[in-house]
Structure 1
Amino acid sequence: MKIFILALDGVFDTGLTVLLDALRLAHKFAAQQMGGALTFEVSIVGMRKKIKTSHGLAIPVQGIMPDVKPDWVIVPALNTGSPETLIPALGRRDVRQGMEQLRKWHAEGAHIAASCIGTFLLAEAGLLDGGEATTTWWLAPLFRQRYPNILLDETRMLVPWGRIVTAGAAMGHLDLALWLVRKYSPELAAVVSRYLLADFRSSQAPYIIPNHLAQADPVIQRFERWARDHLKEGFSLAEAAGALATSPRTLQRRCQAVLGKSPLSYFQDLRVERARSLIQGSSLDLDTIAAEVGYVDGTTLGTLLRERLGRGVRELRADLR
């Protein structure tokens, strides 16, 4: 299997190296265990002969050869972790050239993958139009607003859609590499993950910080502040909208546009975040914590924690040991 990693100037060092390490480890073990029946031939390609990573390391890059067709093309993230740096980067000449090449490869039948901010390149190139995706969670509001015709779910670590797969933030590059190996050999993926001490993760939800998402929109910021002051109370959309001097419809629309969820769902996110903080930072029993965040008993809260985070109270407290 021929894999191209499309590396552009300012590539995120960890994203690039973790892809290389995981895939080359898979290639090594495939040769040992499968007698060469499965190979992972990885090449770093780009629009220039040499690029520099975000830490300034020079990386030699193979040029694009029209007669060489990849099976997979992977786009690692650029180290542009804020809208102020990302949006200008999407307009760079080499980035636009990379997008055009991605469209060509896809039209020729290649599978395309990206992680973290690399997913923005696929969206900007139009390859995700009408489809599903995930991305780095803290830039989900920007992604959702910039590409409204893409169904985004930033709680998921990996989202396959057709011949394209997107992965989540930062170390999502490793999840993406392991997913690709597992697609062809689950046994091989298990070996690679054990060598790298890496577990398969299906969700970004436990890592999302709700107030970071709120900063993308002034209405949501004000709603977040109001919500934190009312976690013990039952949620009322009309009361929240009134406190913000807006209409329930406007608040509902802004939450959906920025966060991809209802005001009530975001309110519950904040309750979960506060509950997790109390579980991990205090010795309070679960019923007391439930009362602090507006639930009648610990059982209800425990169910919500497991639904949202995939872990219960015992696991959350074990994380600190």
Structure 2
Amino acid sequence: MLFAIVVADGVFASGFTLLHDTLSVAEVLRRTHDPAVPEIRVAIAGEQPIVRTGSGLAILTTARLDDLAGADVVVVPALGALDEPGVLDALDAPATIRMVTALADLGSGGLVAGACTGTFVLAEAGLLRGRRATTSWWLNSVFVRRYPDTELDADRMVVKDKDVLTAGAAFAHIDLALTLVRSVSVELADRVARHLLIDERATQSMYVPLDHVGRDDQLVRLFEQHVRANLAAPLPITTVARELATTPRTLERRVRAAANMTPLELIQRIRAERAEHLLATTEQSIDQIALDIGYRNGSTLRALLRKYRRKP
């Protein structure tokens, strides 16, 4: 399986290296522990033989932008800009424009992914139009203004919408990399996470499993949207089912089929995910966050977080 990491001058060094190293480690562990898993090959695609990161690191490319159509997965790391004006300037750079053109010319059938400001490159290429996506949390407002046809899911660290994967800020590159490895083998992804000492990352355990919720089931999508829009309110399954014009039994069956969990468990996972996001991006106390997501006190929320942090 060929993964092509697309780079241009100014690329965020850590974003590139996290993707490259995680995929490279996955291939070493694959050969050692389960050769039956498809081979993981990594190409570095760029328009010049040598591309320099924003910090001056030299990257030797092994493929051209014209070769992207031959990759199974195309991944765009962050551009390296550190503020909104910098992102907009980077998008106007000739090298980025040529990257966008190459991505826009990709045919269907492969997986395309981007992290942090790399998600802007995907959006510029039209690959996020009509899709759900996430991006770096500090760029939410400019992302929404610039790409109104994309549904921004700012709470998620990794969002999968059919054949497009997006991830959040900076070190979300490693969550994206693990998700890509997971697309090859779940067991291999878990082994990589343990090998690199990232199996306890709350973001991975909170966000990645929810990407397995069946996006082809309209009822399950509506249920998830309803839960996210009403997290602070009581969410009895009987009432929610009635509001969705279905029965509790049908809702239970459909959610179990799509997500391998009960509706109540899915509600808990979404609440835990939201709590992790608020803990990471605000100064609210855990008691305040508990009230925001439908619990009376922080003790209940702490118990919930302990439960799901143990179960990535």
- The normalised TM-score by structure 2 is 0.67
For the structure 1 residues 151 and 108, does the alpha-carbon distance in structure 2 shift closer, same or farther, using more than 3 Å as the test? closer
RMSD: 3.0
Cα offsets for 1:73-101 (capped at 9, x unmatched):
00000110211111011011110110111
Distance 1:19 1:25 in 2: 10
Cα offsets for 1:197-241 (capped at 9, x unmatched):
11324359xxxxxxxxxxxxxxxxxxxxxxxxxxxxxxxxxxxxx
Match of 1:30 in 2: 30
Aligned length in residues: 231
Structure of higher CA gyration radius = 1
Cα offsets for 1:264-321 (capped at 9, x unmatched):
x9xxx79x94542xx6xxxxxx6xxx6xx9x7xx9624389669xx738xx9xxxxxx
Residues 54-93 of structure 1: pairs in structure 2 closer than 5 A = 54-62=54-62, 63-66=64-67, 69-93=70-94
Q: Is the 8 A contact 1:81 1:117 kept in 2?
A: no
Q: Following TM superposition, by how much is the alpha carbon of 1:50 offset from its aligned partner in structure 2, in angstroms?
A: 1.3
Distance 1:184 1:3 in 2: 11
Distance 1:141 1:303 in 2: 33
Distance 1:146 1:65 in 2: 27
Identity %: 37
Residues 87-126 of structure 1: pairs in structure 2 closer than 5 A = 87-105=88-106, 107-126=107-126
Distance 1:84 1:67 in 2: 29
Gaps of at least 5 residues in structure 1 are 205-264, 280-285, 316-321
Match of 1:302 in 2: 298
SS in structure 1 of the partner of residue 165 of structure 2: strand
Distance 2:5 2:295 in 1: 47
Gaps of at least 5 residues in structure 2 are 209-273
- The normalised TM-score by structure 1 is 0.65
For the structure 1 residues 77 and 274, does the alpha-carbon distance in structure 2 shift closer, same or farther, using more than 3 Å as the test? closer
**Which amino acid in 2 is paired with 1:91?**
D
SS in structure 2 of the partner of residue 176 of structure 1: helix
Deviates more, 1:77-86 or 1:60-69: 60-69
**2:206 corresponds to 1:202:** yes
Deviates more, 1:62-71 or 1:86-95: 62-71
Cα offsets for 1:104-159 (capped at 9, x unmatched):
22x25321000111000011111111111000111111101111111001110111
For the structure 1 residues 74 and 274, does the alpha-carbon distance in structure 2 shift closer, same or farther, using more than 3 Å as the test? closer
Q: Is the 8 A contact 1:136 1:170 kept in 2?
A: yes
Match of 1:178 in 2: 178
